[in-house]
Amino acid sequence: GKTHLLRAAVAEARASAYLSGSLLAVDEPGLATVAIDDVHLLHAENQAKLFTLLNRQRERGGLVLASGELPPAQLALREDVRNRLAWGLVFELKPLSDEEKPMALVDYARARGFRIPTEVIDYLLKHGRRDMGTLLRQLATLDHQSLVQKRPVSLALLRRMARTQAEAP
């Protein structure tokens, strides 16, 4: 979810850095984009570093992307840090509903250049974990196996893959 979006944004940005819960001392003037994941985990010293980083990025016209468990105003952080984080746009990410997941899987397959049969989607959603991270990993593995075996993505291929994984130690 949030981590995936931050990493994708950093991958698209020219001069960028991705930082997780323990903020490092990053102060390179050339960074156009800084992504900070899990800001709710920052301890006092790193909150001070984040405050400085937010101010410097704003002065430079740089971009700061941050993720946390709650909106900035509700985070257990220093007030000045919460205020700086609230300067920008705040979005709440919600998990996809069961009705939205099939569409997301179709879009993912299309973006990777293959078509996913409806029965494959139904099988994925009825057997095993249904969180999007797991579903997308399974779909990526299925895509890889279809390329390796030079076979189209199908329910038979998915079942064979599932059996092989279940038999693995």
DSSP letter for each residue of 130-165: -SHHHHHHHHHHHHHHHHHTT----HHHHHHHHHHH
pLDDT band (50, 70, 90) for residue 60? confident
At which of 35, 56, 85 does a domain end?
Answer: 85
**pLDDT-wise least confident of 12-16, 70-74, 125-129, 152-156:** 12-16
Average pLDDT across the chain, whole number: 88
7: in domain:
yes
CA distance 55 to 60: 9
Both 80 and 17 in one domain: the answer is yes
pLDDT band (50, 70, 90) for residue 35? confident
142: tokens are 């299925």
Report the number of distinct structural domains present in the chain.
Answer: 2
148: domain CATH number is 1.10.8
pLDDT band (50, 70, 90) for residue 27? low
Both 77 and 26 in one domain: the answer is yes
Torsion angle in degrees (nearest 10) through CA of 75, 50, 13, 109: -30
- Burial (0-12, 13-18, 19+ Cβ within 10 Å), 63: middle
160: in domain:
yes
34: in domain:
yes
Q: Report yes or no on whether pTM surpasses 0.85.
A: no
pLDDT band (50, 70, 90) for residue 107? very high
Q: Please, which contacts does 100-105 make with residues 24 or more away whose CB atoms are closer than 8 Å?
A: 101/125, 101/130, 101/132, 101/135, 104/132, 105/135, 105/136, 105/139
At which of 22, 50, 85 does a domain end?
Answer: 85
pLDDT one-digit tens code per residue, 108-165: 999 999 999 999 999 999 998 999 989 999 999 999 999 999 999 999 999 999 888 8
Please count the other Cβ atoms lying within 10 Å of the Cβ belonging to residue 109: 20
Both 73 and 17 in one domain: the answer is yes
Identify the pLDDT of residue 23. 57
Range(s) of the domain holding residue 75:
2-85
At which of 26, 52, 85 does a domain end?
Answer: 85
